[in-house]
Structure 1
Amino acid sequence: MELKVNRIQQGAVPYKDLPEYDVWAQFRSGNAQAFGFIYSTYFPILYNYGRQFTSDSDLVKDTIQDLFIYLQEKKAGLAEVSSIKFYLYKAYKNRIVRQLTQNRLSPEKLDYDDGRGFEIAFSEESGGIGEMFDDELRQKMERAFAQLTKRQKEIIIYYFYEGFSYAEITALMGFAKIDYARILMSRTILKLRKELGESRFVLNMLVLALLIGK
């Protein structure tokens, strides 16, 4: 089935300025422009996310299309959401993992089949935590992050890059309790401390992740 998306016209409602729950409510009520805004905004974001799980770009794109077709068909019965990005990430991860499982990939390969998986960018242009330190420390961080497991990289990206709360991370990573997400973050930060020593950056991360944790 081909997905038809109405592009937002000049002078249309500035959806990027609306609260996400309002954009989602308009989409659920049948507003084609709201759907077009969600699709055009999140397709490239979901594509980058999907590439963390597999290098098969066609599978990544097809899974995104399937997700949006489902959303378009079932919109009237969808629940209200306060974060469109979190909703789409969770729905997309469920679909891509299920698709990879159906393709009979081993559990090891399922955890990012080409060995990449949740790579972390440290260039100043990439923004996020990369812009917080100079070239020398950036190189040290790259070496330290290379020592993390894929799950540890995943939680760092969800928390520091995507801005997800511990409750959202718990749902995304399939933890039974929110405490498990906090424990994983704590162990990840401690591992970075071991690799980097008592740098100011790592201490700042500890404060953010463990003391002011969302």
Structure 2
Amino acid sequence: MKKNLSDEILWDSLKKGNVEAFSILFKTYYASLYNYGLKISKNETITEDSLQDFFIYIYEHRENLSDLNTIAPYLFSSFRRFIIHIIKKSKKNTFVRDINENIIDIHFTPEELITHQESKTFQNQNLPKLLNKLPKRQREVIYLKYNCNLKATEIAEVMDINYQSVNNTIHKAIKNLREDVAIIQLLNS
């Protein structure tokens, strides 16, 4: 099976039980979903276990999955719900951080920003601090857009908000970052 199949063909093959299609899906999305899950759970073990269980769940329930034209939004939104459910379930048994499934608290690291920068302005050493100052919803939208390379329509699906809200949130986040960068540049001059 070719690795550059359309999402629709890959998903259809998976639903029909094609193990190679499942393998391609796993290899294509594992790292991105893992990083996103880690942002949600802040725990490597919970993230890894949840992601493996999530992929097993997808394979075991493949015949009942809806038809898809694009896979990424479905996987991100489903995994988001899946890991939040796992966190809430484990919270009942042990102390696990409190989580609001509507607003995920994402924090950026300098390493993530080195490879995902759009302009020289954002090469500022204070960017992680500036990003982490943004409201939670803005941080999640920025993370999904620039770290997971999702389109606004896909982000809307993942976060269960409308398309216009995604665009407004991205616009507000970038506006906030530009204002903060301008203030820093002014202070440093």
TM-score by structure 2 length?
0.78
Displacement of 1:51 after TM fit?
0.5
By how many angstroms is 1:140 displaced? 4.4
| Kept in 1: contact 2:74–2:158 (CA 8 A) | no
**2:125 alignment partner, SS class:** helix
Match 1:192 to one of 152, 177, 181:
177
1: distance between equivalents of 2:19 and 2:179?
51
Distance 1:186 1:44 in 2: 27
Contact 2:155 2:166 in 1 (8 A): yes
Structure 2, gaps ≥5 residues long: 184-189
Q: 2:139 aligns with which of 145, 153, 159?
A: 153
Question: Residues 122 and 138 of structure 1 are in contact (CA less than 8 Å); yes or no, is this contact kept in structure 2?
Answer: no
Q: Which runs of 4+ in 1 moved over 4 A?
A: none
- Map residues 116-195 of structure 1 onto 2, 5 A cutoff: 117-119=106-108, 121-123=112-114, 126=115, 128-129=116-117, 132-133=119-120, 137-175=123-161, 177-195=162-180
- SS of the equivalent of 1:129 reads coil
The two structures, once aligned, show a CA RMSD in angstroms of 2.9
Q: Higher relative contact order by CA 8 Å / sep ≥ 6: 1 or 2?
A: 2
**Contact kept? 2:141, 2:155, Cα under 8 Å:** yes
- Distance in structure 1 (CA, Å) of the matches to 2:32 and 2:40: 14
Q: What one-letter code is carried by the residue in structure 1 that aligns with 2:98?
A: K
Percent identical residues: 22
More helix by share: 2
Whether 1:18 and 2:33 are equivalent positions in the alignment is: no
Structure 1 unaligned blocks of 5 or more: 1-12, 199-214
Partner of 1:66: 53
2:187 corresponds to? none
> 1:60–1:96: 8 Å Cα contact kept in structure 2?
yes
Q: Deviation digits for residues 145-185 of structure 1, max 9, x if unmatched?
A: 2321232111112223323232222222232x333222222
Taking the aligned partners of 1:110 and 1:190, their CA distance within structure 2 comes to 27
